Amino acid sequence: MSLLVTGSIGIDTVKTPYGISEECLGGSAIYFSMAASFFNPVRFVGVIGSDCPYELSEVFAGRDVDLTGLEVRPQSKTFRWTGSYHEDMDERTTDRLELNVLEEAPPKVPEPFRDSKFVFLANTAPKLQLELLEQILEPVFVAADTMNCWIREHTDDLRLLLKKIDCLIINEDEARLLACEQNLIKAANMILDMGPWVVVVKKGGSGSLLCSADGKKFLLPAYPADDVNDPTGAGDSFAGGFMGYLAQKGSTGFDILKTAVAYGTVTASFTINDFSLKGLTLIGKSDIENRFEVLRKLTKF
């Protein structure tokens, strides 16, 4: 089934204990699309300025990513992020942030994309996520990401968004913040009460937790990565693998959701192996399938 993503396109400079990656292509829509394209065609909606040094049609060459929704604004500048990861790679500091085009009006969803069935609203102001969602005619399954600043400062908009989506994909600290509850199981249940019928809590190196409103749960450890060089994009790659698999199946039964979490986990495990997009561009679908089977074996008892 059709899969649409709205999110950022960024120029990232990333420092980790294992190296530096300067002026690389990044952003949530980029990582998501690269990850999801292993499973399903992707409809891409995002905006850049005229300064973007990357040609996205080349970046996605050979992948089924429809860039009809890419808007280039000649008078604007592309979003830029510079960040540093700490020794434990689970925490990072933003050294410099230039929102640029992300502070302007969001891109429009092109007419041919409005019939999209699976939709991922990557992290941005919940008001913009709502605006984007309103342009989709009859979505089947809408997932969104959010972060601490929106939870803290745009609570009303976020509460409104939560009532209109099927699934929230969220980091563990953000889940605790949103629910005002330290216990993660309780926090997930409280988020389900806010609207979505599925919550996926991402716990970085500690795996993920899937909960649905009918009381079903699934716990999955992270893929045991012994070669982590750059965690940037891991969350959006997880979302890409997760949503890509769901769109491929065209179904959201709990067993399908569980398998989707496993594919998200495995896809993200490749992202963190290398800097920027390299971890995802140097592999094929068979690499993902192989790690999927390894993860299944590693967790079975």
Q: Which residues bind a copy of itself (CB under 8 A)?
A: 87-89, 182-186, 189, 203, 205-207, 209, 217-222, 224-226, 228, 255, 258-259, 261-262, 296, 298-301
Q: Which is nearer to a copy of itself, 41 or 205 (CB)?
A: 205
- Residue 82's nearest CA partner among 32, 7, 11, 150 is 11
Q: Which is nearer to a copy of itself, 112 or 224 (CB)?
A: 224
Tokens representing residue 72 in the block: 């280039």
Q: Which residue has the tokens 């949103």?
A: 178
Tell me if 123 sits within 8 A of 28, measured CB to CB.
Answer: yes
Query: Using CA atoms, how far apart are residues 40 and 116, in angstroms rounded to an integer?
Result: 13
Tell me if 265 sits within 8 A of 223, measured CB to CB.
Answer: yes
Treating both helix axes as pointing N-terminal to C-terminal, what angle do 155-162 and 126-134 enclose, rounded to 10 degrees? 40
The rounded radius of gyration (Å) of the Cα atoms in the chain is 18
Q: Which is nearer to a copy of itself, 105 or 185 (CB)?
A: 185
Tell me if 108 sits within 8 A of 135, measured CB to CB.
Answer: yes
Least CB distance to a copy of itself at residue 258 (A): 4
Q: Which is nearer to a copy of itself, 156 or 301 (CB)?
A: 301
Least CB distance to a copy of itself at residue 275 (A): 17
Least CB distance to a copy of itself at residue 132 (A): 31
Least CB distance to a copy of itself at residue 172 (A): 9
Least CB distance to a copy of itself at residue 149 (A): 21
Burial class of residue 213 in the structure, from the number of CB atoms within 10 Å of its CB (0-12 exposed, 13-18 middle, 19+ buried): middle
Tell me if 47 sits within 8 A of 73, measured CB to CB.
Answer: yes
Q: Which is nearer to a copy of itself, 78 or 232 (CB)?
A: 232
Least CB distance to a copy of itself at residue 89 (A): 7
Q: Which is nearer to a copy of itself, 82 or 189 (CB)?
A: 189
Q: DSSP class of residue 41?
A: -
Q: Which is nearer to a copy of itself, 156 or 226 (CB)?
A: 226
Q: Which is nearer to a copy of itself, 169 or 211 (CB)?
A: 211
Please, which residues bridge with residue 175 across strands?
none
- Residue 266's nearest CA partner among 62, 35, 34 is 35
Least CB distance to a copy of itself at residue 205 (A): 7
Least CB distance to a copy of itself at residue 225 (A): 7
Question: What CA–CA distances, in Å, run from 19 to 10, 97, 274?
Answer: 19, 20, 10
- Residue 64's nearest CA partner among 2, 8, 11 is 2
Tell me if 235 sits within 8 A of 171, measured CB to CB.
Answer: yes
